[in-house]
Amino acid sequence: MSAAVGTRRTQERANPEAGLKHRLLGKNPLGLLFSAPYLVFVLAVFAAPVVYAVWIAFHDFFFAAPGADVSYPFVGFANFVYAFSNAQVVQSFGNVGVFLLINVPLTVVLSLLLASALNKVLHARVFLRVSFYLPYITASVALVGVWLFLFGGDGLVNNLLGPLAPNPSWLVNQGLAMPVIAVYVTWKQLGFYILLYLAALQNVPKDLYEQASTDGANAVRQFFSVTVPGVRPATLLVLLVSTVTGANLFTEPYLLTGGGPNGSSNTPVYLMYQLGVEQGLPDVASAIGLVLVVAVLVIAYLQNRFAGGRNE
Amino acid sequence: MTRPLVQEGAAAVGSEASARQAPAAPRPRARRRSKGTATLRGVVLGIGAVAFLFPFYYMVVGSLQRTPDQTLSGLVPDPGNLTLENFAAVNSRISLLTGLLNSGLFTGGVLLCTVVFGVLVGYALAVLEWRGRGATFALVLLVQVIPFQLLQIPLYVLIARDYGLADNLLGMILPFAINSTAVIVFRQYFLQVPREMFEAARIDGAREVRLLWSVAIPLVRPAMVTALLLTFIGPWNEFLWPFLITKQADKQPLAVSLANYISAVASSTANPFGAVTAGALVLAVPVIVLFIVFQRYFVSSDIGSGVKG
């Protein structure tokens, strides 16, 4: 590769046409070569599948034997109608709504609180940071294994609560299954958001705190009038990322509750797996995916609009 | 597939720098109040640390119990109830070693691709001037917005059905081969290297590939470690995609085989609590050890030293 580059270079110097090449490809055409693998990858693994996803959703698509000559007729919105006339699908979107209503505010409040405490602490910084990040870096499958028993019928939490334990127990209780999953995901992901906030806190001007302190504002006042507005861009990012993560929910309901009881913790992505892969209806699954993505984009737009502020 | 993993590195680099500054001495007037605040802060952080660490402790305790004890007294390890049998119990149904090996191969492949291709694009975007650079960077940002829900079905159709890459390492790696967040991080790191260093090397006659290999990469090596570590946890912990694409037990990464064990097998074993926590521990420990050993790379970057020296 480098030899070819060398020859090109010498040619450029000797050849007056090299000016044209520069104008066409830029000063270092090698940049395009360096980027080629990435561009090919994006085309193959992102661009093509996105287009394919939309195409599948509007056609009567099914799995055929490799090499079989089959046609997939255009069916308009039939897949969408089929999907959303299924009560389970509608329920799964509602479940994600419940999840987000618990998970997102909890995430924002706890991560900002812990990040600002961590930011000021002098002792045991490394220990605290490591312990806060551990759940985030550990596989959800491994942690779910523990939570499964913690919140099981005769698990530690119920043993601790004694007569106060919910009946039916957490994970088999229609009203509690999704909230437990929401709390689990909050706990699991919090370290990442703490990191985001820690970085953002460094950008809050120190003299704002001094000013507030001179004006007689106590720590709580300072937190609300200096810290909270100061980290607003990070808050927006936390809102967006946690919403997208929540909409992608699959592993936790799959392992903790199996989507139950009575579909009360089923999620769209879990249904996409059940319908698309297990039941051979990839077209219906794709339609659900499309609706889910549009819903997430709408929520993200609203968050950006109302939490992002005007001069961001 | 984009995950916001690598941003962490960049974010953390910033956080440590100013966190090192000691806070100003409290004014006498505020001293008593700030003492109360400090206590409150300590309590909040302490509760946080316990909440974060407890399930890990419980994982270890549970994996060592001969007969499961999920009562409060089970929290304190009972010397008469300790055993390593749980590890053997999981291992008899899912091969932990095969699982670890598959996880390692999957993660290694993703890391290799992420670094090789990511560094090339990152360098091209930060240092080289070429037509299409702006458009490529816009693409890198755009790709971040595409959620996996949308890609899940078409990727499954394409990779598992059309390309026949189900139960295949390549099929498992492919969607993760390039991490756009890593590209952004690499670009950011290369941007921090003063342009003069590249110009000087070019005048000395170094070619672009050599320049990248022997000037640019050594300068950003600490940052590279951060990016590597953060990319590592993605595929190692990934569940949905390898779960979709591998049905053969001997091809599954540990996260997938353990999940199958939890959902299908565990309930029929003598001590499901012990067996599941033992498997969980095997899956969790490699990442935790790496994280603790390289902990400082999560919070600091020595990029300054290479440039100044």
What's the pLDDT tens digit per position in B99-155? Answer: 999 999 999 999 999 999 999 999 999 988 888 899 999 998 888 777 777 888 899
**Residue B59's CB: how many other CB atoms inside 10 A?**
23
CB of A34 within 8 Å of a chain B CB? The answer is yes
Instruction: Calculate helix-pair angle for A140-150, A177-201, nearest 10 degrees.
Output: 130
pLDDT of residue B298: 66
pLDDT of residue A154: 84
Question: How far apart are the CA of B306 and the nearest CA of chain A, in angstroms?
Answer: 23
Question: How far apart are the CA of B215 and the nearest CA of chain A, in angstroms?
Answer: 15
- Could you say which DSSP state residue B265 is in? I
Mean pLDDT score across all residues of chain A: 86
Chain B residues lying within 8 Å of A50, measured CB to CB: 146, 150-151, 154
Residue to substitute from B52, B148, B296, interface A, most A β-carbons within 10 A: B52
CA end-to-end span of chain B: 38
pLDDT of residue B241: 92
Facing residue for A156 by CB, picked from B70, B158, B239: B70
Q: Please report the ipTM that was assigned to this predicted complex.
A: 0.84
Facing residue for A251 by CB, picked from B118, B129, B240: B240
Closest alpha carbon to A182 in A279, A110, A237, A232: A110
pLDDT of residue A4: 46
CB of A151 within 8 Å of a chain B CB? The answer is no
Residue to substitute from A22, A32, A35, interface B, most B β-carbons within 10 A: A35
- Could you say which DSSP state residue B158 is in? I
The whole-angstrom separation of Cα A160 and Cα B72 is 7
Q: What is the pLDDT of residues A24-63, one digit of tens each?
A: 777 778 888 899 999 999 998 888 999 999 999 999 888 8
Chain B residues lying within 8 Å of A35, measured CB to CB: 120-121, 124-125, 132, 136
Largest CA distance in chain B: 73
Backbone angles phi, psi at A201, to 5 degrees: -65, -30
Q: How many CB pairs under 8 A join A and B?
A: 319
Question: How far apart are the CA of B217 and the nearest CA of chain A, in angstroms?
Answer: 15
A27:B149 CB<8 A: no
Chain A residues lying within 8 Å of B72, measured CB to CB: 156, 159-160
Q: Higher-confidence residue: A118 or A1?
A: A118
A46: left (phi over 0), alpha (psi -120 to 50) or beta: alpha
Question: How far apart are the CA of A74 and the nearest CA of chain B, in angstroms?
Answer: 17
What number is the average pLDDT over the span A221-240? 88
Task: Give residues 70 to 99 of A whose Cβ lies within 8 Å of B.
Answer: none
B161:A34 CB<8 A: no
Chain B residues lying within 8 Å of A28, measured CB to CB: 124, 128-130, 208
Strand partners, A59: A74
- Residue B286's alpha-carbon distances to A66, A104, B141, B236, B237, in angstroms, are 39, 30, 32, 9, 11
Percent residues over pLDDT 90 in chain A:
40
What number is the average pLDDT over the span A181-186? 96
CB of A132 within 8 Å of a chain B CB? The answer is yes
Q: Are B281 and B60 in contact (CB under 8 A)?
A: yes
A28:B130 CB<8 A: yes
pLDDT of residue B28: 52
Chain A residues lying within 8 Å of B59, measured CB to CB: 142, 145-146
Q: Name residues of chain B where pLDDT drops below 50.
A: 1-26, 300-309
Largest CA distance in chain A: 89
For the record, the structure tokens of A147 come out as: 């939570």
pLDDT of residue A3: 45
Residue type, B72: L
Q: What SS3 string covers chain A? A: CHHHHHHHHHHHHHCCCHHHHHHHHCCCCHHHHHHHHHHHHHHHHHHHHHHHHHHHHCECCCCCCCCCCCCCCECCCHHHHHHHCCHHHHHHHHHHHHHHHHHHHHHHHHHHHHHHHHHHCCCCHHHHHHHHHHHHHCCHHHHHHHHHHHCCCCCHHHHHHHHHCCCCCHHHCCCCHHHHHHHHHHHHHHHHHHHHHHHHHCCCCHHHHHHHHHCCCCHHHHHHHHHHHHCHHHHHHHHHHHHHHHHCCCHHHHHHHCCCCCCCCCCHHHHHHHHHHHCCCHHHHHHHHHHHHHHHHHHHHHHHHHHCCCCC
A149:B276 CB<8 A: yes
Contacts (Cβ under 8 Å, ≥6 apart) of B29 = none
Backbone angles phi, psi at B42, to 5 degrees: -60, -40
Facing residue for B23 by CB, picked from A120, A219, A241: A120
The whole-angstrom separation of Cα B176 and Cα B231 is 10
pLDDT of residue A206: 85
- Could you say which DSSP state residue B162 is in? I
User: How sure is the predictor about A181, in pLDDT bands with cuts at 50, 70 and 90?
Assistant: very high
The whole-angstrom separation of Cα B300 and Cα B294 is 11
Structural domains of chain A in order of their starting residue, each with its CATH number = 2-57 (no CATH), 81-307 (1.10.3720.10)
Contacts (Cβ under 8 Å, ≥6 apart) of A18 = A11, A12
Contacts (Cβ under 8 Å, ≥6 apart) of B178 = A37, A38, A41, A42, A45, B113, B114, B117, B118, B121
For the record, the structure tokens of A109 come out as: 């409040």
Structural domains of chain B in order of their starting residue, each with its CATH number = 96-253 (1.10.3720.10)
pLDDT of residue B299: 56
Percent residues over pLDDT 70 in chain A:
90
pLDDT of residue A155: 84
Facing residue for B295 by CB, picked from A130, A248, A251: A130
What number is the average pLDDT over the span A187-193? 92
Chain A residue with minimum CA distance to B273? A149
Q: Angle at CA A64, nearest 5°, toward A63 and A67?
A: 140
Facing residue for A255 by CB, picked from B18, B244, B259: B259
Residue A93 pLDDT greater than 70, yes or no? yes
B291:A140 CB<8 A: no
